Copies of this chain bind each other. A is one copy, B any other.
Amino acid sequence: MTIYDVAHEAGVSVATVSRVLNNTAPVSPKTKQKIMTVIEKYQFQRNALARSLKKKETRTLGIILPDITNPFFPEVFSGIELEARENDYTLFLCDTMGEYERETQYLYMLRERQVDGIVFLGGRINLSKVEQNLAEELQTFAQRVPTVLVNGSIPGNPIHRVCVDEGAGTEQAVRHLLALGHTDIAFIGGLEYMTTTMQKIRAFKKVFREHGLTVRKEWILYDDFSLNAGKRQMKKLLHMSHKPTAVLCVNDYTAVGAIQEAGRRGYSIPNDISIIGFDDVPLATAILPEVTTVSQKTELLGRTAISILHKLIQKEKVKKLTVIEPELIIRESTAQL
């Protein structure tokens, strides 16, 4: 059923039907009524494809992320969805499952589908050294379709982005530990070549330096971002002759893994060791002790990304970088030395 069928059945022209559908010009109550009756009778729904083709706007957005299974992403997706809904966008969700090549594929696919904009999380924009061609590709893309990066960047920062200040968050965490009397602090997890990891370690070192302390190189343990990373590296730490009294983790997932491993080996958290996470995903309050962590304000992060993207789409002026201040959430996994 098309707009023509409706027009015919109601004895009017397609233009008039279009007018009542879009409320785009005055139509007499009578004809309007006639048309509405037909629409309801046949449950007519217009074809968004045709509409978008003509209007050159799809009201659709692409979200590219590396792993929906990692609890951080559903949380920010939730914020994205909320804000998108308010602005009447529908979302394509593209999970690259950590493969950079797939990012490229999705980028092309989304352009073919004429999305009004995209938001890009994780993946290549988290690499401290982005391959030249990956960066260029994304930049070229961003010139053609409005794009915002979340918690990441590419060299030269040519693309709009919204970021949590992970350095500031880490500083808060370290200061908290210091205030509790800890100076033997280790850092667990995160791939060395990702900015999330680097920023945190940099901030960690900075605070130490300010306090005239130095961080022990053997206590900086790189790994991936998984639960098992936390377990593995905690185990390593616990085998050392000189053990830290507190450990900072790259995210809540690894923190939980670390806590589990410590518990399994008979250590009591936080009495024997203080542990601190990052992100504040629901998992952080699921375990005993509940994890002290740094909130990324995930919902706000998602909402902000869309609100910026929306402005970009309307060609409003927006500043290139929006920073979100994280917040230390003190719970049960940290204690006085």
Contact = CB atoms under 8 A, between A and B. Distances in A.
Interface of A: 45-50, 52-53, 58, 60, 68-69, 71, 73-75, 77-78, 81, 90-95, 97, 108-109, 111-114, 227, 253, 256-257, 259-260, 263-264, 282-283, 285-288
A60 B62 CA distance: 13
Instruction: Kindly report how many copies of this chain are found in the complex they form together.
Output: 2
Contacts of A112: 45-48
Nearest to A51: B112
B45 A108 contact: yes
Contacts of A92: 60, 90-93
Contacts of A52: 49
B286 A257 contact: yes
Contacts of A53: 47, 49-50, 53
User: Do most interface residues of chain A lie in helix, strand or loop, or is the interface mixed?
Assistant: helix
Given A45-B111, A49-B49, A69-B282, 16 more contacts: A47-B112, A49-B53, A49-B58, A49-B113, A68-B68, A68-B74, A69-B74, A71-B71, A71-B74, A77-B93, A78-B97, A81-B93, A90-B94, A90-B109, A227-B282, A260-B288
> Which residue of A78, A264, A286 has the most chain B CB atoms within 10 A of its CB atom?
A286
A246 to B, nearest CB: 20
29 contacts: A45-B112, A47-B114, A49-B52, A49-B53, A53-B53, A60-B92, A68-B74, A68-B77, A69-B74, A69-B78, A69-B282, A74-B74, A78-B95, A81-B95, A81-B97, A90-B94, A91-B93, A91-B94, A92-B92, A92-B93, A93-B93, A227-B285, A227-B286, A253-B286, A256-B286, A260-B286, A260-B288, A283-B283, A286-B286
A210 to B, nearest CB: 34
A90 B94 CA distance: 8
A93 B260 CA distance: 34
Nearest to A114: B49
Contacts of A114: 47-49
Contacts of A227: 282, 285-286
Contacts of A259: 288
A308 to B, nearest CB: 20
Closest 7 CB pairs of A and B: A93-B93, A48-B112, A68-B74, A49-B53, A263-B288, A48-B113, A260-B288
